[in-house]
């Protein structure tokens, strides 16, 4: 119980102190421009990382389910394989869309802010 309380208290302390650090402004206006650009770059990186992780998990589950289906019914291997490849293409397209949006955000905002 005390470990849980210590974890929740630490989490609450971090949650309360983080906004004050994030909203602190520099004395000159040009420093804030770079802060915004760095924030966009970090957000794009996190977005790509989350999308890649989610797509990896989804692809592994799809492949495992397809292999299990082929193992149960080997005569349907062709149909299962085709459906699996189509599903993998759709899953991978989500990661590509995330990469595209991240690149657009980085280039669009870097052109406007610099």
Residues whose CB is less than 8 angstroms from the CB of residue 36 and which lie 6 or more positions away in sequence, other chains included: 109, 113
Per residue in 59-100, pLDDT tens? Answer: 999 999 999 999 999 999 999 999 999 999 999 999 999 999
CA separation for the pair 64, 70 (Å, rounded): 10
Q: 80-89 long-range contacts, Cβ below 8 Å, gap at least 24?
A: 87/62, 88/59, 88/62, 88/63
Residue 56 is predicted with a pLDDT of 92
Residue 83's pLDDT is 93
Average pLDDT over residues 101-108: 86
As given in the structure block, the two tokens for residue 98 are: 């995330």
Give the pLDDT of residue 77. Answer: 93
Contact criterion met (CB below 8 Å) for 41 and 106:
yes
Taking the domains of the chain in order of start, what are their residue ranges? 44-114
* CATH class label, 44-114: mainly alpha
User: What is the Cα–Cα distance from 54 to 46, expressed in whole angstroms?
Assistant: 12
Measured CA to CA, the distance from residue 71 to residue 62 in angstroms comes to 14
């Amino acid at each position: 119980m005390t470990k849980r309380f210590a974890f929740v208290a630490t989490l609450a302390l971090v949650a309360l102190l983080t906004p004050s650090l994030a909203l602190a402004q520099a004395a000159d206006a040009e420093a804030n421009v770079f802060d915004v650009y760095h924030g966009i770059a970090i957000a794009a990186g996190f977005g790509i990382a989350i999308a890649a992780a989610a797509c990896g998990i989804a692809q592994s589950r799809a492949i495992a389910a397809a292999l299990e289906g082929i193992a149960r019914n080997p005569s349907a291997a062709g149909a299962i394989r085709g459906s699996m490849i189509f599903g993998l293409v759709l899953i991978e397209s989500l990661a590509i869309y995330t990469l595209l949006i991240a690149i657009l955000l980085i280039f669009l905002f870097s052109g406007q802010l610099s």
